[in-house]
Amino acid sequence: MGIPNLQIAHIKPSVPIFQGGMGIGISLSGLASAVANAGGVGIISGTGITLEEMRYHIRKARELTNGQGYIGVNVLFAMNDFAEKMKAAMEEKVDFIISGAGISRDMYAWGREYNVPVISIVSSAKVARLSERLGAAAVVVEGHEAGGHLGTDRPLFEILPEVLETVKIPVLAAGGIMTGADVAKAMKMGATGVQMGTRFVASVECDAPMSFKQMYVDAVPEDLELVKTTVGLQGRVIKNKFIDMIRAGGKVKVDKCTDCLKSCSYRFCTSESLKRSVAGDTETGLVFAGARVGEIKEILPVKQIIDKIMEECKQAYPIDQNNLALS
């Protein structure tokens, strides 16, 4: 029996890959539309951009995909503009909303009101069960290997079986997914599909600047470090001058606080530091990356990345072509 089709509500992509939502300008319409055009599911991150910019990128992605494929929006629960961004994305009739760093009853209620599926990012069976009960259309199980903010210190393939045993809704595996063999392993275990972020940063169509992408290509395992950001969670980053400044509780002066977080330590500005790196200053800004970033050796077009992953998946897990079309 081959790998089954990925289906979440009306979402039925030809390849079982969601592109992770990466904030402050990393995954916007350019990356999301390229993934959707290659047969996967594209995600625009609403974090760190204005409401108007988010609406623009949703519409631009629709234009770049000719209204085909699937485009969703990632909205971070920890942000003060969470509700506003979520409702605006739903008004734009995105295919789904995906949210992490917390959950609320309201977001599922809004999903029912606008008829937009809501997907939760979780790191435990307990939160997965709660998400299902509240109305999540699916959950993304994210392990410690992920880039950005981390909700657990446990590896993905340790958490995944526990979640699969707990919920009946579709489950996507995330955190350290880099190759087709990883995709096959997750789906053999029972996952509906996977979510990948880090690999897509080093793509031609990613919305990040070349200096940011090059950090990924040049990184080796020794370059990675865990730091606690002002969101209150640890995040895996690539070491640079900024990390030297904040290591061991150091503080960095904030030029202007926009009060973007529901709860903030004010040691430095996570948003401001991410914006600096995305503007091209990758030495004095945060550069998030997944644990396996060192495996990336070149910047490739999204379609080439997905085709390679699916060919590897085919080799690792014989695929019934009637169940899964290779893009």
Sign of torsion over alpha carbons 50, 56, 59, 62: negative
Residue 97 falls inside a structural domain: yes
Q: What is the mean predicted confidence (pLDDT) over 208-217?
A: 94
- Domain co-membership, 105 together with 244: no
Q: Mean pLDDT over all residues of the chain? A: 87
- Domain co-membership, 39 together with 141: yes
- Domain co-membership, 180 together with 218: no
Q: Give, as one character, the DSSP assignment of residue 246.
A: H
The residue range of the domain holding 167 is: 17-207+299-316
For residue 260, the model assigns a pLDDT of 53
Write out pLDDT tens, residues 17-61.
999 999 888 999 999 999 999 999 999 999 889 999 999 999 999
- Domain co-membership, 127 together with 223: no
For residue 326, the model assigns a pLDDT of 39
Write out pLDDT tens, residues 163-205.
999 999 999 999 999 999 999 999 999 999 999 999 999 999 9
Residue 99 falls inside a structural domain: yes
- Domain co-membership, 169 together with 249: no
Token couple for 182: 């990883």
- Domain co-membership, 198 together with 259: no
- Domain co-membership, 237 together with 178: no
> Strand pairing partners for 96?
72
Instruction: Count the domains in the chain.
Output: 2
Element containing residue 291 per DSSP (H, E): none
Write out pLDDT tens, residues 113-153.
999 999 999 999 999 999 999 999 999 999 999 988 778 88
- Domain co-membership, 285 together with 306: no
- Domain co-membership, 222 together with 304: no
Q: What is the mean predicted confidence (pLDDT) over 88-112?
A: 90
Q: What is the mean predicted confidence (pLDDT) over 240-266?
A: 64
Structure confidence at residue 217 as a pLDDT band (50, 70, 90): very high
Element containing residue 227 per DSSP (H, E): strand 224-228
For residue 322, the model assigns a pLDDT of 45
- Domain co-membership, 168 together with 228: no
For residue 321, the model assigns a pLDDT of 43
Residue 146 falls inside a structural domain: yes
d(CA 21, CA 25) in angstroms, rounded, equals 10
Residue 179 falls inside a structural domain: yes
Count of residues for the chain? 327
Residue 10 falls inside a structural domain: no
Amino acid code (one letter) for 327: S
d(CA 272, CA 35) in angstroms, rounded, equals 27
- What's 97's domain CATH number? 3.20.20.70
- Domain co-membership, 47 together with 193: yes
- Domain co-membership, 203 together with 265: no
Residue 266 falls inside a structural domain: yes
For residue 327, the model assigns a pLDDT of 35
Residue 239 falls inside a structural domain: yes
Write out pLDDT tens, residues 290-315.
999 999 999 999 999 999 999 999 88
